[in-house]
Amino acid sequence: MRLSREATEQRFKEYIDQCIEEFCVAQEQRIALLQEAQERRFQQLECRIKECRADADYRIKKFRAEAEQRIKECRAEADQRIRECRAEYRADAEQRIKKLRADAEQRINEFRAECRVETEQRIKECRAETKQRIKECRVEYGAAAGQRIKECREEAEQRINEFRADPVITLCGHLFFWPCLYKWLHHRSHPQECPVCKGVVGEEKLVPLYGKGRSVTDPRTEIPPRPSDIHTLFASLEQTRLSREATEQRFKEYIDQCIEEFCVAQEQRIALLQEAQERRF
């Protein structure tokens, strides 16, 4: 018995939706793994920034301690010279003390200025180095994410092209792609039965929708060519009642429409993912 064309198309659409849903679940898992990798990368960057900040703080404290120590040494040296001058030259002790104090203050001020300039310069260098390293990490991660998205798109196109290859119809009136049905019959179904109505299905009860099947085995999937359409009763009925060219064109248009809608949805998801990444950066 033949099902109506509308019922066949509806079941074919449901099967396509199921395949797309499974593929989307796999893509979401991959995106989740990619996001986890991003989180780990961001944590590493934060740890590195904290280390740079801690290093800068340590150096600033070290410079301050050295400056204070040198100031103390200068003061001690000045006091010692003042005491020596007082002992040797009592007459002009006050004048020399004033001069030495002025000299000491000037040296202290100069040294403070030098230390301040040097410290600020080192801080600027540390900040510039940290910013540069952050930019490099962002550029590197952005390139890796772009390459990953490109690979996902290519893999999606390849999977879609594999799914739409060689449609066949069972005698119970259900439409499948030959690679999917072959895997079902030889790896999941014992005994061989239709995935929809659980009727008995074999390679001798399958009819290609158009064409006569491939003449060679696909080396990538190790799936043999689909059965020929000569030895079945359904093929002769299909040749007498339906125009093979019209049926082929309609199913091609429907398949192209489904693929186009799926690709648009995937591009929207990728665009949203890229926007989220930009906002996080």
| Token code pair at residue 144 | 């890796």
Report the pLDDT averaged over residues 169-193. 75
Is the domain of 104 the same as that of 23?
no
pLDDT, average across residues 260-275: 76
Residues 143-165 as b/e (b if ≥16 CB within 10 A, e otherwise) read: eebeeebeebeeebeeebeebbe
State the pTM of this model: 0.26
Q: Per-residue confidence at 165, pLDDT binned at 50, 70, 90? A: low
Q: Return the closest-CA partner of residue 235 out of 170, 180, 165, 184.
A: 170
Q: How far is CA 165 from the centre of its chain?
A: 30
Q: How many beta carbons lie within 10 A of that of residue 26, not counting itself?
A: 13
Q: First CA to last CA across the chain, in angstroms?
A: 61
| Residue that terminates a domain, selected from 161, 177, 196 | 161
206, exposed or middle or buried, with CB in 10 Å at 0-12, 13-18, 19+? buried
Element (H, E) at 207: strand 206-208
Dist CA 178 CA 158 (whole Å): 16
Same domain for 55 and 127, yes or no, is yes
Residue where a domain terminates, one of 111, 133, 161? 161
pLDDT number for residue 220: 46
| Residues 242 and 130 both lie in one domain | no
Q: Are residues 100 and 154 located together in one domain of the fold?
A: yes
pLDDT level of residue 128 (50, 70, 90 thresholds): confident
Give yes or no: residues 107 and 175 share one domain: no
- Give CA angle at 251 (236, 196), nearest 5°: 75
* CA-based nearest residue to 79, from 90, 71, 69: 71
Confidence of residue 188 (pLDDT cuts 50, 70, 90): low
Q: Tell me the per-residue pLDDT of 205-249, one tens digit each, with 9 for 90 and over.
A: 677 765 444 444 444 445 566 555 544 444 444 444 555 566 667
Beta partners for residue 176, in sequence order = 168
pLDDT value of residue 233:
45
Instruction: Give the domain-ending residue among 161, 188, 204.
Output: 161
Residues 15 and 30 in one domain: yes
Name the percent of the chain lying above pLDDT 70: 67
**Domain membership of residue 132 as a residue range:** 37-161
Same domain, 183 and 231: yes
In angstroms, the CA 109 to CA 82 distance is 19
Q: How many domains does the chain have?
A: 2
Helix (H, G, I), strand (E, B) or coil at 176: strand
Q: In this structure, are 12 and 128 located in the same domain?
A: no
pLDDT at 122 (0 to 100): 75
> Do the bridges between strand 206-208 and strand 167-170 make them parallel or antiparallel, or are there none, so unpaired?
antiparallel
Give percent of the chain above pLDDT 90.
Answer: 0
Residues 32, 47 within the same domain: no
Helix, strand or coil for residue 173?
A: coil
38, 277 Cβ separation under 8 angstroms: yes
Q: Are residues 118 and 223 in the same domain?
A: no
The pLDDT score that the predictor gives to residue 210 is 55
**Is residue 88 domain-shared with residue 187, that is, in the same domain?**
no
CA dihedral 83, 86, 92, 94 (to 10 degrees): 60
Sequence length of the chain is 281
Q: For residues 119 and 175, state if they share a domain.
A: no
User: How far lies 268's CA from each of 13, 157, 261, 265, in Å?
Assistant: 22, 15, 11, 5
